[in-house]
Amino acid sequence: MKFKEADLERAFECLGGDPSADAVRILAEIPDPIPPSQPVWPLIIGAAMGGAAITGLLMWLMLPAAEAPADQSPPKEEAIELPEEKPIEKLLPPPEALDPSGVSLAATENANLDVSVGDVMLASADDPEPRRLSSGTRLAYGQTYKTSEDSFAAISLDDKVQLRIGPGTTLALMDENSLNLLEGMLWVQNQPDNSPVYVFTNEGDIGAEAGSVVSLAANEERLQLATFIGNASFDTLAGDKLRLSEAQFCESTGGLVDDPRDAGQFWYYYRWQLPLLSRSDRQEEVVGMLSALAMDLDDPDPEKQELASEEFRRLGGLSARALSLALEGMVDPGDTRRRVVFLFCDVADLESQDRLLDLLLSQDGEERARAAATLARVTGQDMDEKWDSAFWRDAPVSDRMSARINYRRKLPR
């Protein structure tokens, strides 16, 4: 039986240089059947001789080559593999990373500019001209933000930290729990389930603990720190470690800090927020803060009473709503209630007429007289001549009730 040439070629393809192993591999590749009459030993001898020849050839090829003369030509520059060119649209930031003003921001995490009043700006080192930001802008950590005079910003960080930034403030957002207050006024409200929020200043590092509300005012020379709710730590430049409890205040100047003391009237610390918040969509919040402020009108210090009164007069109609709410809890007559009523009449507007009509039923004659005069002012509807101040102070109850009913019928509803 003759083998085809292709069979022999396939059999010798597996040679590796070892005569014994090659013989075995050759036998495995030769097709069956092999006629019994044909002896196998000639094939084995041939395979062994072929393996030995190939082994010698491989050993010759592995001998070291003679050294070639050194190449005197200058070395060739290696080719630099360039990265795959990406389409330009893949290099641009996604649309959601652009704030409404067109400023391109980095990864924004969950920082958001909730309220912007006046000029709230991104102060970028790459851009000498700060860019103005509007409410709803997503902010970037690692960036610095500024407010101009008569401006205000409310910022939320990861829905766990609420910040209020006052006029003339420069603040860097490091991350969701780290801030750098370079100058200005800052209000920090930290949620109860959050870790401490650290504020770094020129006078030291402040830690607003979980569930705390802290107010800071800083410039190049001085820092004022007050806690309203919860506690705060203060690591001073001098290496001192202070802890402020609720309703405490301290001041640091040039690294020297005084002992914490009673914070006093809270309105002093948040009063700067009121006129600015009143220009935003957070007016209900202003009314709530002013309602609490109305309690401070009972302060025994006349100077503080006057300062609080000036605050209410400055905010006009919003103050009227707040004072109206405050009067609901002041049933008994007295100096404090009369002071609130008079202040309410000073700032009342047309929306205040229902409360003014109620005041015509007050037990205090001076309150009734002031309310009647204010009603005529805000409604433009004069009362009858006989219903003068003396009438509302001294007339019998039945006469005053009848006059109130008749006057109410004249008012537009």
Element (H, E) at 249: strand 248-253
Report pLDDT for 273: 85
Nearest-10 Cα torsion for 86, 88, 92, 96: -100
Cα distance between residue 354 and residue 59, in whole Å:
113
Q: What is the pLDDT along the chain (413 residues), one digit of tens a residue?
A: 444 555 555 555 555 555 555 555 555 555 554 444 444 444 444 544 555 444 444 454 445 444 444 454 444 444 434 334 333 222 223 333 333 333 333 444 589 999 999 999 998 766 667 889 999 999 999 999 999 998 999 999 988 999 999 999 999 999 999 999 999 999 999 999 999 999 999 999 999 999 999 999 999 889 999 999 999 999 998 889 999 999 999 999 988 999 999 987 676 787 788 888 888 888 888 888 887 777 778 878 888 788 888 888 888 888 898 899 889 888 788 888 999 999 999 999 999 999 999 999 999 999 999 999 999 999 998 888 889 999 999 999 999 999 999 999 988 76
DSSP string, 49-66: HHHHHHHHHHHHHTSPPP
Helix, strand and coil content of the chain, in percent to the nearest 5, comes to 40, 25, 40
Query: What is the reported pTM?
Result: 0.62
Distances 162 to 53, 158, 172, 199 between C-alpha atoms, Å: 87, 9, 15, 13
Q: What is the distance between the alpha carbons of residues 318 and 321, in angstroms, rounded to a whole number? A: 5
How would you write 115-164 as a 3-class SS string?
EEECCEEEECCCCCCCEEECCCCEECCCEEEEECCCCEEEEEECCCEEEE
Q: Give the residue among 273, 205, 266, 269 at the shortest CA–CA distance from 233.
A: 205
Show me where the domains of the chain are located: 5-61, 98-265, 268-410
What is the crossing angle of helices 335-347 and 302-315, to 10°? 30
- Whole-number pLDDT of residue 340: 92
DSSP H or E segment with residue 397? helix 397-410
Q: Give the CATH number of domain 98-265; options: 2.40.280.10, 3.30.70.980, 3.30.56.10, 2.60.120.1440.
A: 2.60.120.1440
Instruction: Assess contact for 241 and 228: CB atoms under 8 A.
Output: no
Distance of alpha carbon 357 from alpha carbon 265, whole angstroms: 32
CB atoms inside a 10 Å sphere around CB 333: 15
Half-sphere exposure of 306 (CA within 13 A, CB side): 3
Q: In angstroms, what CA-CA distances link 200 with 170, 205, 236, 257, 322?
A: 12, 5, 10, 15, 36
Structure tokens belonging to residue 42: 């000639």
Per-residue pLDDT at 106? 43
| Cβ burial 5-14 (10 Å sphere, 16+ → b, else e) | eeeeeebbee
Among residues 152, 157, 110, which one has the least CA distance to residue 135?
152
> In angstroms, rounded to a whole number, what is the distance separating the alpha carbons of residues 79 and 412?
89
Residues 79 and 334: their CA atoms lie apart, in Å, by 93
The contacts of residue 225 (CB under 8 Å, 6+ apart) are 206, 214, 215, 216, 232, 234, 244, 249, 250, 251, 252
Terminal alpha carbon distance of the chain: 123
- Under 8 Å between Cβ of 200 and 191: no
Whole-number pLDDT of residue 127: 66
Helical (H) or strand (E) element with 18: none
Indicate the residue type of 164: R
Q: What is the CA radius of gyration of the chain?
A: 44
In 3D space, the residue among 90, 13, 82 whose CA is nearest the CA of residue 54 turns out to be 13
How many Å separate Cα 298 from the centre of its chain? 37
Question: What is residue 276's predicted lDDT score, i.e. its pLDDT?
Answer: 82
How far is the C-alpha of 261 from the C-alpha of 263, rounded, in Å? Answer: 6
